A and B are shown apart, each in its own frame.
Chain A
């Protein structure tokens, strides 16, 4: 290596380091939210006596703070039913986000099923897919009882056998190899 070449390499190295010092923090700044641990929000949605095990009641609560109405979502809540091997003192909160692409589903009590208005996804009483394009059952929210009030916590997804997994976005399959093809994200709460 001659003198000219050594100076060229050194000059480019210094330029590259200077560029990296500027670019890398900026990229990290933009990507940081992907790795941020979420704050767990628990919100009371009514007395335990308000809910039965035969039908769902809609409740509205906040999942993202600080953005007003856009941060609220709706869930359908019922008491656990022995018919489905559930603890009668527990509560089931079904998310209204369709597992196809995230449109809001509605509970139709006459048909005992959830229906999505966008592309015709249909789910049974437990939220399992019985028709249309959705790729997995409806998501759920963690629930607990505090001083006679039902409280709703972080969202989680379920497999087709209703096994809880970490929250996925609509459109992503769950269970088996799909848990690796659509990996869990660090900014979601762990599955219960």
Chain B
């Protein structure tokens, strides 16, 4: 696949072959000329050893179908919401203490006393809802545009798994402020989970680490919320994006090829 030369920024362009008289004045020119070439040299050095240019141009300058519109940005928006959650979550973890006696105090401390704490916590709290909303909009776009059909069924399945994992993030994160509302909401949530036949009761015990809410329940929810599920999410987002790049996006359903009489006749048969 060959892209128009103007699309590729100069530093990412393939270096000239040695001996040809290109603009790549590594062997001559004034010191200022050579200084100007330094960034390109650095990029070239990295590119020669990683092959990043062909990978990045292939990913960033890939062709998209005619009719691509703003609805196609919902997936990127969801990814951005995830990145916001990841970054704010890392910083919240610096102040949070997942012990039943300290958790509530550490949350009120980081909200009220820490510089910009209310802002960072607010981003994490409201960002969680934003992420769920964006996921549903992204899912609706995929469904309405028929973008889940062959050959993209696997990406739909990965997407549904991502939705479920995000729900688990919401469920486990809700307990962490450890106020009355989050405690009782978690009690109700774990009990709903326990109504699943045969394995439900054991799954509840696994979540609580025992028959009742106890000393290690909160740290267990915290570990699931900040280590287990994010790891799975990042891996599956990688697979999701890989398949998007590999398979390309679909055109909107109203962008179909013009039919002539021969095609129409073929379709009838």
Given contacts A63-B212, A70-B100, whether A185 and B201 have CB atoms under 8 Å apart is yes
Q: Is B73 an interface residue (CB 8 A)?
A: no
Instruction: Verify A181–B100 contact, CB threshold 8 A.
Output: no
Instruction: Verify A169–B191 contact, CB threshold 8 A.
Output: yes
Q: Is B210 an interface residue (CB 8 A)?
A: yes
Q: How large is the interface on A (under 10, 10 to 19, 20 to 34, 35 or more residues)?
A: 20 to 34
Given contacts A66-B215, A169-B204, whether A36 and B191 have CB atoms under 8 Å apart is no
Instruction: Verify A102–B187 contact, CB threshold 8 A.
Output: yes
Which residues 200-231 in B have Cβ within 8 Å of A in the complex?
200-202, 204-206, 208-216
Q: How many residue pairs bridge A and B at CB < 8 Å?
A: 83
Across the interface, B201 reaches (CB within 8 A) one of A38, A70, A101, A183, namely A183
Instruction: Verify B194–A67 contact, CB threshold 8 A.
Output: no
**A64 to chain B: closest residue by CB:** B214
Across the interface, B184 reaches (CB within 8 A) one of A103, A169, A172, A188, namely A103
Return chain A residues, CB-CB under 8 Å to B38.
Answer: none
Instruction: Verify B201–A172 contact, CB threshold 8 A.
Output: yes
Q: How large is the interface on B (under 10, 10 to 19, 20 to 34, 35 or more residues)?
A: 20 to 34
Which residues 91-106 in A have Cβ within 8 Å of B in the complex?
101-103
* Chain A nearest Cβ from B217, distance in angstroms: 8
Instruction: Verify B215–A67 contact, CB threshold 8 A.
Output: yes
A181 and B202 alpha carbons, distance in the complex (Å): 12
Q: Is B150 an interface residue (CB 8 A)?
A: no
Instruction: Verify B101–A31 contact, CB threshold 8 A.
Output: no
Which residues 172-197 in B have Cβ within 8 Å of A in the complex?
178, 183-184, 187-188, 190-192, 194-195, 197
Instruction: Verify A102–B188 contact, CB threshold 8 A.
Output: yes
Q: Is A167 an interface residue (CB 8 A)?
A: yes
Return chain A residues, CB-CB under 8 Å to B213.
Answer: 64, 67, 70-71
A185 and B198 alpha carbons, distance in the complex (Å): 11
Instruction: Verify B101–A172 contact, CB threshold 8 A.
Output: no
Instruction: Verify B205–A187 contact, CB threshold 8 A.
Output: yes
Instruction: Verify B194–A171 contact, CB threshold 8 A.
Output: yes
**B100 to chain A: closest residue by CB:** A67
The A contact surface, by secondary structure, is: loop
A30 and B210 alpha carbons, distance in the complex (Å): 11
The 8 A CB mask of A138-152 against B (1 = contact, 0 = none) is 000000000000000
A67 and B104 alpha carbons, distance in the complex (Å): 12
Across the interface, B210 reaches (CB within 8 A) one of A33, A101, A181, namely A33
Instruction: Verify B211–A185 contact, CB threshold 8 A.
Output: yes
Instruction: Verify B201–A169 contact, CB threshold 8 A.
Output: yes
Return chain B residues, CB-CB under 8 Å to A101.
Answer: 187-188, 191-192
Across the interface, B202 reaches (CB within 8 A) one of A63, A170, A185, namely A185
A79 and B184 alpha carbons, distance in the complex (Å): 30
* Chain A nearest Cβ from B193, distance in angstroms: 9
A31 and B207 alpha carbons, distance in the complex (Å): 9
A38 and B188 alpha carbons, distance in the complex (Å): 22
* Chain A nearest Cβ from B254, distance in angstroms: 46
A67 and B200 alpha carbons, distance in the complex (Å): 25
Return chain B residues, CB-CB under 8 Å to A187.
Answer: 205, 210-211
Binding site for B on A (CB under 8 A): 30-31, 33-34, 36, 38, 63-68, 70-71, 101-103, 118, 167-172, 181-183, 185, 187-188
A sample of 21 inter-chain contacts (CB < 8 A) reads A30-B206, A33-B206, A33-B210, A34-B202, A66-B214, A66-B215, A67-B101, A67-B215, A70-B183, A71-B215, A102-B188, A169-B191, A169-B194, A170-B191, A170-B194, A172-B201, A181-B198, A182-B197, A182-B200, A183-B201, A185-B201
